[in-house]
């Protein structure tokens, strides 16, 4: 069953093989977060500061785990909004893992230094041209990298995703504000 799903994603939907490397990296980050859950709940001291610190770290680890799961679910969807969510989540993961390392509050010292690099590798994979093409709508040109970076800063609907049809007689059907960056 797993191989059938993998075959469907890779060959039928055209998912780039390099996205599997990103999925493996995200799986490693998720397993480390689950290990942090274990150590944060088992080794709680009874004083108020230790309990408050553990609750804060548990909350941050829960948010990081949810972001990782959200990114893993969104990667194979080939939606541009999923790409945007994955990049934003990965940026938050890089910052969080780096803060964990700088503040020396990570429970697993052996894997702590590798996590920001794994997250950075996922971020670089998401900006590869083949991956960006995978998230570009059908029958449109892949926008330049500057448009993808601009898309990261927008919230809601991106007008560049709208289609405009121009007929032979010059009649235009579509949004009134002109063509977006994908229809140049």
| Domain map (residue ranges) of the chain | 20-153
Residue 160 is classified by DSSP as G
Q: Given this model, what pLDDT does residue 4 score?
A: 52
Distance CA 125, CA 91 (A): 13
Q: Given this model, what pLDDT does residue 180 score?
A: 47
Question: What residue spans of 104-140 are helical by DSSP H?
Answer: 109-112, 115-126, 129-134
Q: Which segments in the chain show pLDDT lower than 50?
A: 1, 179-184
Prediction pTM value: 0.72
Distance CA 21, CA 15 (A): 12
Residue 77 is classified by DSSP as G
Q: Given this model, what pLDDT does residue 183 score?
A: 46
Task: List the Cα angle 144/149/70 in 5-degree steps.
Answer: 120
Residue closest to 63 by CA, chosen among 28, 89, 35:
89
Which residue do the tokens 């083949």 mark?
Answer: 130
Q: Given this model, what pLDDT does residue 128 score?
A: 93
């Amino acid at each position: 069953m797993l191989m059938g799903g993998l075959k469907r994603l890779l060959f039928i939907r055209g998912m780039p093989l390099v996205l599997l490397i990103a999925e493996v990296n995200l799986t490693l980050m998720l397993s480390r977060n689950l290990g942090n859950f274990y150590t944060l709940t088992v080794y709680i001291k009874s004083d108020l500061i230790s309990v408050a610190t553990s609750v804060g770290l548990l909350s941050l680890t829960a948010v990081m785990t949810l972001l990782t799961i959200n990114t893993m679910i969104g990667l194979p969807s080939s939606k541009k909004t999923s790409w945007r969510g994955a990049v934003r989540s990965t940026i938050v993961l890089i910052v969080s893992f780096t803060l964990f390392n700088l503040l020396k509050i990570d429970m697993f010292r052996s894997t702590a230094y590798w996590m920001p690099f794994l997250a950075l590798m996922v971020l670089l994979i998401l900006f590869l041209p083949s991956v960006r093409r995978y998230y570009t709508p059908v029958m449109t040109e892949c926008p330049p990298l500057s448009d993808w970076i601009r898309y990261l800063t927008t919230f809601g609907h991106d007008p560049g995703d709208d289609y405009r049809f121009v007929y032979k007689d010059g009649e235009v059907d579509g949004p009134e504000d002109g063509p977006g960056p994908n229809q140049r």
